Chain A
Amino acid sequence: MSATTAAGAAARARRPVPPEIRRRRLLLSVANHSVAIALSIAFLLPFLFILATSLMTNQQALSPNIWPHPFVWSNYKTVFESFPFVRYTLNTVTYAGLATVGVLLSCVPVAYALSRLQWRGRQAAFILVLSTLMLPPQVTIVPLYVIFVRLGWIGSLKPLIIPLFFGDAFTIFLLRQFFMTIPQELSDAARVDGASELQILLRVIVPLAKPALAAVALFQFLYSWNDFFSPLLYAGNNPDSWTLAVALQQFTTLSRGVLWNLQMAASLLFMLPVIVIFFFAQKVFVEGVTLTGVKG
Chain B
Amino acid sequence: MATTAERPAAALEQASTAARRRRRRRAARHRQLVALAFMSPWIIGFCAFYVYPMISSLYFSFTKYDILSQPKWVGLANYRFMFTSDPLFWVAIRNTLWIIAIMVPLQVLFGIVTATVLTRIKRGLPFYRTVFFLPTMVPLVAAALGFIYILNPAGPVNRVLGVLHLPEPLWFVDPRWTKPGLTLIGLWGIGQVMIIFLASLLDVPRQLYEAAELEGARPWQQFRYVTLPMISPVIFFSVLIGMIQGFQYFTQAFVVSKAGDRTNEVGYPQDSLLFYTSRLYQQGFEGFHMGYAAAMSWVMFVVIMACTVVLIRSSRRWVHYQGGFR
Contacts and interface: CB of A to CB of B under 8 A. Distances in A.
A123 to B, nearest CB: 12
Given A135-B50, A271-B142, A286 B195 contact: yes
Contacts of A244: 139
A226 B139 contact: yes
Given A143-B52, A165-B41, A294-B234, A253 B264 contact: yes
Contacts of B154: 62, 64
A253 B195 contact: no
A128 B35 CA distance: 16
B297 A248 contact: no
Given A113-B38, A293-B199, A53 B45 contact: no
Given A46-B150, A229-B251, A135 B301 contact: yes
A245 B67 CA distance: 27
B190 to A, nearest CB: 9
A145 B259 contact: no
B250 interface: yes
Interface string B119-149: 0111010001111111101111111011111
A169 to B, nearest CB: 9
B81 interface: no
B298 A139 contact: yes
B118 interface: yes
Contacts of B247: 136, 138
Interface string A190-214: 0000000100010000000000000
B107 interface: no
A286 B126 CA distance: 11
Contact of B255 (A137, A225, A252, A296): A252
Interface in A109-164: 109-110, 112-114, 117-120, 122, 125, 128-129, 132, 134-147, 149, 163
Contacts of B259: 249, 252-253, 258
A294 B196 contact: yes
A177 interface: no
B196 A289 contact: yes
Interface stretch (A16-24, A28-36, A74-82): A28-36
Contacts, number: 257
Nearest to B293: A142
A216 interface: no
A94 interface: no
B204 interface: no
A29 B117 CA distance: 11
A86 interface: no
Nearest to B255: A249
A32 B128 CA distance: 12
B156 A49 contact: yes
A282 interface: yes
A245 B139 contact: yes
Given A226-B139, A226-B140, A248-B141, A139 B149 contact: no
Nearest to A276: B137
A22 to B, nearest CB: 15
A6 interface: no
22 contacts: A35-B117, A46-B143, A49-B149, A49-B156, A53-B149, A66-B159, A113-B39, A134-B308, A136-B247, A143-B56, A143-B60, A163-B48, A167-B41, A167-B42, A222-B137, A229-B250, A229-B251, A233-B285, A248-B145, A267-B142, A271-B137, A278-B137
